[in-house]
Structure 1
Amino acid sequence: MAYEGIFISAIVFLTGMLTYLFRDKPNMAIGFRIGYTFASEEAWRKTNEFAGKAFMGLGVIMGLMSIIWNVVLVTLVMIIGVSLIIWKGYIIAKETMELEDISEPAEGIVMPLDKVDVKPYILFQLALIASYIILLALSWEKMPDTVATHFNAHGSPDRFEPKSLGAFLLPLMASAFILALTYLGRDPIALRIPRGNIKVVLKWSG
């Protein structure tokens, strides 16, 4: 159903437009909100300018693909696109923050920030993914060629896809996206709203 893919595309485009419109001033509601962008208005501006344009471009691409592709394939494109935008935005924000000169000294005692140990969480997620792949391999031949990928409000399946897409590729792509976000959490600044003079903290923790 093309209208579902177009609807998702419109949401992605609107997200990009709002991100771009609110690129000049940090806020708590709209934009690429991570520790680095909250710590520097320049990092906020550069990151949100990039992310806004990128999300609008992704929305247009997804909209065009919705005409000839089904919503599952469009969703895969969205997962890949959003992942790349988040990663690139993180790099832009981090590099901009690190390149800025320290204009004001830190107040009080400067405490170094240690990287967050995310290994247990990553190992747990990898174990779940491996278990799913093993279960999928053992039951692959017994599975029908098409599997249900969407259910209506009554719990009845209303969309079917080839099992290679619905049972293998789509779940693994979504899992990889969550895994990447978990890995990003190892940076003590990235997923936190900083307090105080974060530039000096970065110097001590780098």
Structure 2
Amino acid sequence: MSETAFEMFVSLVLLLGGLLALAFRKRRNPLIGFRVGYTYHSERAWEKVNTFAGVFSVVYSLFLLALAFYGVSRNIFTLGVVGFVIIQLFIGLWMAKREYELDELSEEAPEKPPATGKTEGASIKPYLLTQLGFLAFYLLLVALLWDRLPERIATHFNASSEPDGYSGRLWGVIGVPVLVWLLPLVLTLPAKEPAFFARANFYPRNLGAWCLFTTVLSCGLVSVFTLTLLYNVGIVPSNVISYGVYLFLALLVFAIYRLLTVGGDERV
């Protein structure tokens, strides 16, 4: 599949998703739409948020189609897609919480489901600061080693620890790592709002354990990017990256184990 065809495919998938969100904006369901605890609890929140999500997705998909026809690089297109995800996520969550609270204050509000008992959020500030510290350390290292980096750097390695994927210096050592680092950060934020998980198929029994899991994920990802950076300046051999990945996976398994076994009142 050519680069333009791939970009058009992604844009059309986004367009279809937006149309489906609009079609189901008045019918709560477990498959289609902006589905978080707030929208499950309130018909008003479901309709308002999914109307926004549908319209925004349709409009943004047309923008992405225009980029694809114009022939922008995949890096620029990817940044556009990431921008869509971040904007829709944050605005959608803000709208969902706001509409849910307005619904609760309304005299005409429907009867709410019984409380689950999980009403207090976790203190996420230490975890967020730790994750920010990981990124700051990595970016400091990038700044110190920038002049030693080649214009094209290795960004992917096969099972034999041999590089088989390359990228430009700016995108490879800053663009991709920062975008990937955002994933665990965004996953940490819902721990402050337990209603985000309410009525979801997965609800962590201990929100502190959830934050530990996302922080370990952040640490592992930054560690792998750091080893890749050191490889590209000739400080470490490529097989060290493989060892780093194995260690990261082991720590991640431990964090998942704690997530699944720790009790709701236990300290992490």
Q: Pick closer, same or farther for the CA change 1:85–1:107 going to 2, 3 Å.
A: closer
Q: Does 2:127 align with 1:121?
A: yes
Structure 1 residues without counterparts, runs of 5 or longer: 195-206
CA distance in 2, matches of 1:97, 1:107: 13
Out of 8, 11, 15, which is 1:9 matched to? Answer: 11
Q: How does 1:103-114 map to 2 (within 5 A)?
A: 103=109, 113-114=119-120
1:155 Cα deviation after fit = 7.0
Structure 2 residues without counterparts, runs of 5 or longer: 201-268
Q: Pick closer, same or farther for the CA change 1:150–1:108 going to 2, 3 Å.
A: closer
Q: Does 2:29 align with 1:21?
A: no
Percentage of matched positions with identical amino acids? 30
Paired amino acid for 2:46: W
CA distance in 1, matches of 2:68, 2:30: 32
CA distance in 1, matches of 2:89, 2:191: 13
Judge conservation of contact 2:22–2:54 (CA < 8 Å) in 1.
yes
CA deviations over 1:39-98 (Å, ceiling 9, x no partner): 011110110111011112222211211232111211111111211111111121111111
What RMSD, in angstroms, separates the aligned Cα atoms of the two structures? 3.0
Which structure has more RCO (C-alpha within 8 Å, separation ≥ 6)? 1
Q: Does 2:90 align with 1:82?
A: no
Paired amino acid for 2:164: S
Q: Normalising by the residue count of structure 2, what TM-score does the alignment of the two structures yield?
A: 0.62
Secondary structure, counterpart of 1:140 in structure 2? helix
Paired amino acid for 1:80: G
Paired amino acid for 1:117: S
Q: Pick closer, same or farther for the CA change 1:140–1:25 going to 2, 3 Å.
A: same
Q: Pick closer, same or farther for the CA change 1:144–1:96 going to 2, 3 Å.
A: same
Which structure carries more helix by proportion?
Answer: 2
Paired amino acid for 1:58: Y
Judge conservation of contact 1:23–1:45 (CA < 8 Å) in 2.
yes
Judge conservation of contact 1:118–1:185 (CA < 8 Å) in 2.
yes
CA distance in 2, matches of 1:54, 1:150: 34
Q: Normalising by the residue count of structure 1, what TM-score does the alignment of the two structures yield?
A: 0.79
CA distance in 2, matches of 1:119, 1:97: 25
How many residue pairs match? The answer is 192
CA distance in 2, matches of 1:190, 1:171: 27
Judge conservation of contact 1:58–1:78 (CA < 8 Å) in 2.
no
Q: Does 2:185 align with 1:179?
A: yes
